[in-house]
Amino acid sequence: MKLPRRNFLRLAAGAAALPVVPRIAFAQAYPSRPVRIMVGFPPGGPADILARLIGQRLSERLGQPFIVENRAGAQGQIATEAVTHAPADGHTLLLVVPGNGIAHVLNDKLNFNFIQDTAPVAGISNGPLVMEVNSATPVYTVPEFIAYTKARPGKVNFASPGLGSTIQLCGELFKIMTGVNMVHVPYRGSAQRTAAPRTAKRFQTLARAYRTQCPCGVRYS
């Protein structure tokens, strides 16, 4: 049977539209209930603040609550494990930090594979790392700090929000590049690290935001 060209085009257009319908319907139905944004650090740090800002905006746009849940510990891996074991329906998200990408190097007994068990959704932040010293430390430039630290090997601390964090990696790289001997003092999150009174002599790098921090649609498919 010969099919008229006009009818063929109509059928082709209809067939092409069929696979799109479920996707559109799914997009319109999401989210169908409150969404959790898991943060692996205590309240008050950069990750927590970013999650709350993003959650508020998403709640306003999508009409469902986006609830920030802080599960601090193990440099974010407790929250990551919880998300990787959540249902794959997009209602449990993870605010990813750079430490997630190297977790398998520092921990050989993780119950998940971050690369295989997660799917990135969007990058949400990009910011600089800042070097700071306590106001009681008599240095005003990086060369002055290097000289000050070399004159006091093993007596100058640098604080970080935890083992494997971007701040620790920056501090270790700084030590390698300059030859200084500093002591790493890890804390449980950025808020605790910034407020810590016992790091009077410290090299502290603060990340206003990380480029790789993003709500990750873990188990989103």
pLDDT of 155 higher than 50:
yes
Name which residue leads in pLDDT, 193 or 36.
Answer: 36
Tens digits of per-residue pLDDT, 72-112? 888 788 999 999 999 988 899 999 887 787 777 777 788 88
Global pTM value: 0.65
pLDDT of 70 higher than 70:
yes
DSSP 62-131: HSS-EEEEE---GGGHHHHHHHHTS-SSSSEEEEE-HHHHTHHHH-S--SS-HHHH--B--------EEE
Name which residue leads in pLDDT, 47 or 7.
Answer: 47
- The fraction of the chain above a pLDDT of 90, given in percent, is 32
pLDDT of 61 higher than 90:
yes
Query: Structural domains in the chain?
Result: 31-126+210-216 (3.40.190.150), 129-207 (3.40.190.10)
Quote the Cα angle for 87-41-91, to 5°: 20
Quote the Cα angle for 91-95-101, to 5°: 120
